[in-house]
Structure 1
Amino acid sequence: MQRTNDPNAEAEIRELFEARTQALSSKDAATLAAANDADVVVFDAVAPFVHRGAETTARKQEWLAAYRTGIGHEIRDLTITTNADLAFCHFLVRISGTMLDGTEVGMWVRATSCLRKLDDGWKIVHEHASVPFEGETGKAVLTGDL
């Protein structure tokens, strides 16, 4: 991909991520779904690990419903590379909140998003979230130094 990093494209993509952060905080599934292309493919950090198209909306609704509070979504180190109609982003994201059963969540996840510029703006066409793990034990590393 030839890197152009049009400042307007980068600003639009940052706005999309900010809108998603606000949607998670207010448990707004419609805004979350609006950021995705109809044929989006999501590789999730929790099982089932792959969601496609409309399945992603149902997964987000299920995720939101599992929380008593809104979901905190703190993005760190967002890097965006764009050309005329494609963008690649990677970042760390801290997910936090209180689940219905009272469990307090506070974990870091690695994320990659690929977007396409369509007639109605930038849409996420692929997303991948992963949790780092300790090589010796195979256990997830959800907290600690980044």
Structure 2
Amino acid sequence: MMNQERMNPDAEQVCQLLLAWANATRTGARDAILQGHDPDALIYDVLPPLLYHGTDAYRAGWGDWQPQTQGDDVFEFTALNVVAGADVAFACGLIKCGGILVDGRTFDDLVRATFCLQKRADAWLVTHQHISKPAGG
């Protein structure tokens, strides 16, 4: 569910960029996942090492923790709020993720997400991404 307020054009662009990111993640389109990210983005994620300095470091870690699944995966915003100014924006929300592992077991998680973006040469880029899971969740 997206925030229901009328979004300005910049907020709409940010929203579309993040929806494309979620779709690329869900479908495993690895070349597209970080397309809207600054190469020097600071990325926090739920699994070790937790902090990645730049998209190259983040991409290099995918093989260590990205689960192998079968069938359709779930990775979608259940809530997304976007605020955008002329050259900076932030967004936050909840992401439902899950799927069926190759051994048939299923997993289902709800994670929190925060994004900071900067507008450069008329394009929005994620400069900070923070995905976290509630303790004990």
* TM-aligned CA deviation for residue 62 of structure 1: 5.3
Q: 1:100-119 maps to which residues of 2 (within 5 A)?
A: 100-119=102-121
Retained in 2: the 8 A contact 1:24–1:70?
A: no
Could you tell me which residue of structure 2 aligns to residue 72 of structure 1? 74
Deviation at 1:130, TM superposition (A): 1.3
Whole-angstrom CA distance in 1 between matches of 2:133 and 2:46: 6
Structure 1 position 13 matched with structure 2 position 14:
yes
Specify whether residues 84 and 120 from structure 1 end up closer, same or farther in structure 2 by C-alpha distance, changes over 3 A only.
Answer: closer
TM-score, normalization: structure 1? 0.78
Aligned residue-pair number = 131
Which ranges in structure 2 are unaligned for 5 or more consecutive residues?
Answer: 1-5
Moved more, 91-100 or 56-65: 56-65
**Alpha-carbon distance between aligned partners in 1 of 2:65 and 2:73, rounded to the nearest angstrom:** 9
1:79 to 1:20, Cα distance in 2 relative to 1, 3 A: same
Percentage of matched positions with identical amino acids: 25
Deviations 1:100-129 (A, max 9, x none): 343312100111110111126111110111
Would you identify which runs of 4 or more consecutive aligned residues in structure 1 move more than 6 Å?
A: none
Kept after mapping to 2: 8 A contact 1:27/1:64 = no
Q: Is the 8 A contact 1:64 1:71 kept in 2?
A: no
Deviation at 1:56, TM superposition (A): 1.7
Q: Structure 1 70/32 Cα, relative in aligned 2: closer, same or farther at 3 Å?
A: farther
What is the TM-score of this pair, normalised by structure 2?
A: 0.83
1:114–1:127: 8 Å Cα contact kept in structure 2? yes
| 1:111–1:124 Cα change, 3 Å | same
**Does structure 2 retain, via aligned residues, the 8 Å contact 1:24–1:71?**
no
Alignment of 1:1-146 (within 5 A): 7-53=8-54, 54-60=56-62, 64=66, 66-119=68-121, 121-133=123-135, 140-141=136-137
Distance in 2 between residues matched to 1:126 and 1:119, nearest whole Å: 18
CA RMSD between the two structures? 2.1
Alpha-carbon deviations, 1:49-107, whole Å to 9, x = none?
A: 01121112223465556333453212122111111111111101111112334331210
**Structure ranking higher in strand proportion:** 2
Question: Contact 1:94–1:106 at 8 Å: present in 2 too?
Answer: yes
